[in-house]
Amino acid sequence: MARSRIVPGAHLEEGEQIAFFQWVRLQQNVWPELRLIHHIPNGGHRTKTTAMRMKAMGVLPGVLDIFLPVPRHGWHGLYIEMKSKDGKLTEAQESFGSAVANQGYAVFLCRTFEQAKSVVARYLFGDTPPEGGEWVH
């Protein structure tokens, strides 16, 4: 999918993630495992009341953006955090990423649609572990 499909005016990180999920939807008939990949809407601006309600419902700070619950290459599943070119992981994201990596999950930081696409394709169907993003430890 061409980068021009990124939603005009959207925040760069959001636009890259939207483009990634457009690609995912196009690939789901070819790669059925992609029907399981999903975004975890953990961040964003919320009212104080909504934030308190979500916390009471079990929202966990630092949970990464994207999860693919499919085991490959000895991992239990794949987490991806999307960040803009200069975006930095929060302390909570670093902590969560390290904790799930220690539990046997692959964890990547991707800054572009292309990186996320490469990581997922290599994770699912490559002969070797993924490349393209940055490992989160």
> Which residue, chain included where needed, has tokens 């169907």?
125
**Residue pLDDT, tens place only, 83-134:** 998 899 999 999 999 999 999 999 999 999 999 999 999 999 887 767 666 7
CATH number of the domain that residue 63 is part of? 3.40.1350.10
**Residue pLDDT, tens place only, 25-58:** 999 999 999 999 999 987 767 788 888 888 898 8
Q: Are 17 and 42 in contact (CB under 8 A)?
A: no
Domain range holding 61?
A: 3-135
**pLDDT above 80: residue 3:** no
Question: Which pLDDT score, from 0 to 100, does residue 9 have?
Answer: 33
Report how far residue 2's alpha carbon sits from residue 19's, in angstroms, rounded to the nearest whole number: 8
Q: Are 37 and 66 in contact (CB under 8 A)?
A: yes
Question: Which pLDDT score, from 0 to 100, does residue 111 have?
Answer: 93
Question: Which pLDDT score, from 0 to 100, does residue 129 have?
Answer: 67
Rounded to a whole number, what is the largest CA-CA distance in the chain? 47
Sign of the four-CA dihedral 36, 116, 108, 46: negative
Amino acid at 85: K
